Amino acid sequence: MRVIILGSAAGGGVPQWNCGCPNCLDARHDARGRMQSSVAVSADGERWILLNASPDLRMQLAAHHELWPRGMRGSPIGSVVLTDGEIDHTLGLLLLRESATRLPVYAPGGVTTLLGDEWPLYRVLSAYAGVEPRTLAEGRSVALADGAGTPLGISCSTTAVARRPPRYARARAPATAAFDVALRLTDERTGGTLGYVPTAGAIDDAVRRVAGGADLLLFDGTFWSDDELTAAGVDAPTAREMGHLPVGGAGGSLELLPRLDAKRVVLVHINNTNPILCRSSAERARVEAAGIVVGEDAMEFEL
């Protein structure tokens, strides 16, 4: 399985359009920005699956020749898998509206409901080629396939990591609905495994099921500290209130991730305020000393 990190930043990217924090200022001056979180995976290097569809998707597809069109029209993208219904993970679907065929989109049931109603992407896209919603049932492995039903060589299972709907959701959410899941993807030929957990409020049994024995774990690196946004002068909830386990501090992911049985751990979905983005920071040094990698755009892995 080939894995490409298309975007390593959290919502807003780096630099974020309205942010003047040190990381954003540096990114503007040295042109080392980061695009918003998304990943591409492939079993054969020809047909690709997107894990989330970020607002930066057009630029992400243009940056990797593997994802360029074949011939006058067409795309090697066979399907999309969504981990949640957040705007920064779904807005990119609108950028695929020129497709000539319906695009399969796998998502948890709660997310499919949101995208057909309160964040009506599916309804808007129905005026174009549209999408084919495919529900991911929690705990069940699904062989991912393209629009014609041809298997893509990768199976996917989901584990709920939160049942809190996105901020925009107004309707009462069913208690059993999953709105945020972690993915475990397996190459059906090689057995290579990827754990993808862009949002995690804890390292609990759910995360351990996804991470256990994985050849590669892409994990939530959103915030370094629980009060990171308020310390930066932003009126916002804490990291944990937003469903993100901080990297640093007592009980943070830096302390707990090395205990997981994953062969490689890479932090993704990193917020623009996180000090690990600064290569010379003490926080970055601590992460690297623990054997954990700070993810970058365009990083590639072979599993």
pLDDT digits (tens, 9 = 90+) for 208-239: 999 999 999 999 999 999 999 998 888 889 99
Number of domains in the chain: 1
The 10s digit of each residue's pLDDT in 57-93 is 999 999 999 999 988 989 999 999 999 999 999 999 9
The 10s digit of each residue's pLDDT in 51-63 is 999 999 999 999 9
Q: What is the pLDDT of residue 175?
A: 64
Structure tokens given for 114: 């949101």
Q: What pTM does this model have?
A: 0.96
The 10s digit of each residue's pLDDT in 282-301 is 999 999 999 999 999 999 99
CA distance 226 to 248: 9
CATH number at residue 284: 3.60.15.10
Three-class DSSP category at 19:
coil
Three-class DSSP category at 9:
strand
Range of the domain at 252: 2-302
Helix ranges (DSSP H) in the chain: 22-30, 57-62, 87-90, 109-116, 121-125, 205-211, 228-231, 253-256, 282-289
Residue with tokens 């129905």: 126
- Give the Å distances, CA to CA, from 26 to 19, 22, 52, 195: 11, 6, 27, 31
Q: Could you tell me the strand order of the sheet in which 300-302 lies? A: 131-136, 103-108, 77-81, 48-51, 38-42, 2-7, 300-302
